[in-house]
Structure 1
Amino acid sequence: MHYDFVPLPKRKPLKWPDGKRLAVILTTNFEYWDKVQPTDKKYYPGGPGIVGGDLPGNVYDNPNFTWREYGQRVGVWRMFDLFDAEGVKSSCTMNAKMAIERKEVIEAALSRGFEIVAHNYVQDELLTDYMFDEEKERAVIKRTLDVYEQAVGRKAKGWLSSSLRSTLNTIDILSEEGLIFITDLLNDDQPYLVKTRSGRPMVSVSYTSEVNDFSFLRQGLTVETGFMMFKEQFDWLYAESATSGRFMNIGLHPHVIGQPFRIRALRDFIRYAKQFDGVWFATREEIAEWYLENHESHIDPETA
């Protein structure tokens, strides 16, 4: 895996299809956590908890498990209602255990035509556990992709690692498995190509740990300040997109943004963004497939 360092001033203007300026990606993360792990080591939760303190993996953490499960039982359905009412689609990430244990959520997303992106096997397992064992990492990826195909009815095109903890081998493995985009790399507001050892390029369509509903927890945001975070990101990128296209991603978790006292921030942002010309509520696959065909009009291979 290798990508060239091409700073913004060395790129040609990015021109989205149909004259669009700013692609907005509403990422809803469908994530399942195991109740316990077969270990007495510290449990890795794959995200912030609602109750602090570390427990070993073989001890059941009731408040954190059931808080997260609120998103599956209630929060995600509130989000679906919102997306339906506002007429927008979400780009959804799904770990394999979610497809096995909470298939009703996946079926509801598919019935709405939402994109599903592969998102590891289970949330509390990291690919970095296999940094020095590529075959074990490949086995986790293949097992995830097999479940994805069974649940979605097609092969996966893209990937998000649990907690974005990929290894130096991950993108090469994904390319060899036929995927075309990765979302782990947090380093851009535009797509770019990642070179792989197979010779088949991958498109980076960045996720974000900044414009993310976890900021409500980590930074103590309210519904108003959360909306302002979304709006500030949108306004600045929209202004920049007058000369070269951008994308804006919002990371969403049903157990966080799906709470009644937070979800208005998402509704108000969607309504705000829909007022502007040239806004494209896009999927990552749409962006990746378009970019594979048009990347040379953005980043000249000689520049890279």
Structure 2
Amino acid sequence: MSGTYPRDLIGYAGHPPNPAWPGDARIAVSIVLNVEEGGEYSILHGDDHAEYVLTDSGVSTPLMGARDLNVESAFNYGSRTGFWNVMRLLRQRSVQATIYAVGMALERNPRAAAEIRGSGFDVVCHGYRWIDYHGVPEAVERAHIAQNVAAVTAAVGRAPIGWYTGRPSPNTRRLVVEHGGFLYDCDAYDDDLPYWTEVADKPHLILPYSLDNNDARLNRGGDFAGSDDFFAYCRDAFDYLHREGGDGRPRMMSIGLHSRLIGRPGRIGGLARLLDHIQRHEGVWLTGRDAIARHWIARHPPC
């Protein structure tokens, strides 16, 4: 086989570095709340169709050329109620979390933006729009990256250092590095530890995220029927990684949340039980992604 293959199928090859988490923690746990409501596909936002992804409306294809009021209401629940339910629970449990913030969503919800600023949570850019950036012209995506940075900086009073699109284009990582100011991005699901890659001849840090320890599974494909499924799966993942950490192989665990999904009354109990389970264990560094990135850069700089 010849040529340059663009995927890394090898990684740490079964011999990952010891991350040396603070306090010799067995595991670093990153709780992420996605704030997307108000930046999704909508003809109100200049799109030619309505949103149809990660909503309880039951639609699987977009409504073209018209508003989908049921989808809009499902998203509205996230911004009006679910966001506040999740933020209240995180405060009650004294959890340091990370916000994945869509720029347009923050601009349309100044009260949520103020709550995020007051929380002290680190905020990662999650695209100026919550859309699929495949096929979006490079110049438009470049402009959206700048708009997202400006929106987050205005909302929280400091420039973001992390990036996560979620539905990136082949250009996204290069454009993020080109923009500058970011220490890391999270558009990867391929490891249980951070790692370095090279973009435009520069070292660039990746903090992998998770689509499996994620409340999106309460909607995406329906493989999680309810809060017990979410709790049991994430609990089992935590227990395995915590045990591995005790055997000298500390790892990182990401848990993805969405206000309009886990913020519902019939689901948020699963998150509460999960936080209780995690916080009953010793050797856990429950922290934001910015702290994980800074730790990795200090302890495991690029070769």
User: What is the TM-score normalised by the length of structure 2?
Assistant: 0.88
1:127 is matched with: 133
| Residue segments in structure 1 that go unaligned for 5+ positions in a row | none
* DSSP-derived class of the 2:84 partner: helix
Among candidates 178, 199, 203, match of residue 181 of structure 2 = 178
Encode CA deviations 1:245-287: one digit per residue, 9 max, x unaligned. Answer: 2111111011111111111110111111111111011111111
Q: Is contact 1:181–1:204 with CA below 8 Å preserved after alignment?
A: yes
Instruction: Map Cα deviations across residues 89-110 of structure 1 (whole Å, 9 max, x no partner).
Output: 2211110111110121121122
- Measured in 1, the distance between the counterparts of 2:90 and 2:46 equals 38
**191, 204, 207: which one aligns with 2:206:** 204
Q: Partners of 2:297 and 2:174 in 1: how far apart?
A: 17
Structure 1 contact 39–56 (Cα < 8 Å) conserved: no
Kindly provide the amino acid, as one letter, of the partner of residue 195 in structure 2. Y
Moved more, 216-225 or 61-70: 216-225
Asked if the contact 1:145–1:156 (Cα under 8 Å) also holds between the matched residues in 2, the reply is yes
One-letter amino acid matched to 1:140: H
1:224 counterpart residue number? 228
Q: Residues 192 and 101 (structure 1 numbering): CA distance in 2 closer, same or farther, change over 3 Å? A: same
Deviations 1:223-254 (A, max 9, x none): 22221111111011111112122111111011
Task: For 1:48 and 1:202, locate their aligned partners in 2 and report how far apart those are by CA, in whole Å.
Answer: 33
Distance of 1:250 and 1:50 partners within structure 2: 24
Q: What is the TM-score normalised by the length of structure 1?
A: 0.88
State the distance in 2 between where 1:48 and 1:80 align. Answer: 20
C-alpha spacing 1:39/1:259, structure 2 compared with 1 (3 Å): closer
* Cα distance in 2 between the residues matched to 1:68 and 1:136: 25
The superposition leaves residues 123-168 of structure 1 with CA deviations (integer Å, 9 ceiling, x where unpaired) of 1x322223xx43332122112212222222221101110xx22233
Partner of 1:102: 109
Deviation at residue 18 of structure 1 after TM alignment? 2.0
**Distance (whole Å) between structure 2 residues aligned to residue 39 and residue 88 of structure 1:** 37
For residues 222 and 84 of structure 1, the distance between their equivalents in structure 2, rounded to whole angstroms, comes to 23
Asked if structure 2 preserves the Cα contact closer than 8 Å seen for 1:21 and 1:238, the reply is yes
1:63-212 to structure 2, matched below 5 A, reads 63-123=70-130, 125-130=131-136, 133-161=137-165, 164-176=166-178, 177-197=180-200, 199=202, 201-212=203-214
| Aligned partner (choices 3, 6, 14) of residue 11 of structure 2 | 6
CA distance in 2, matches of 1:247, 1:102: 31
* 56-65 vs 284-293, which moves further: 56-65
Would you say the 8 A contact 1:71–1:256 is kept in 2? yes
> What is the SS of the residue equivalent to 2:33?
strand
2:217 maps to what in 1? 215
Report % sequence identity: 24
Paired with 1:46 and 1:210, the residues of 2 have a C-alpha distance of 16
Structure 2 unaligned blocks of 5 or more: 1-5
Distance 1:136 1:46 in 2: 22
Equivalent position amino acid for 2:170 in 1: L
Distance 1:103 1:239 in 2: 42
User: Residue 258 of structure 1 aligns with which residue?
Assistant: 263
Distance 2:217 2:61 in 1: 21
The whole-number CA distance in structure 1 between the counterparts of 2:135 and 2:52 is 14
- Kept after mapping to 1: 8 A contact 2:52/2:59: no
Among 245, 252, 258, the residue aligned to 2:250: 245
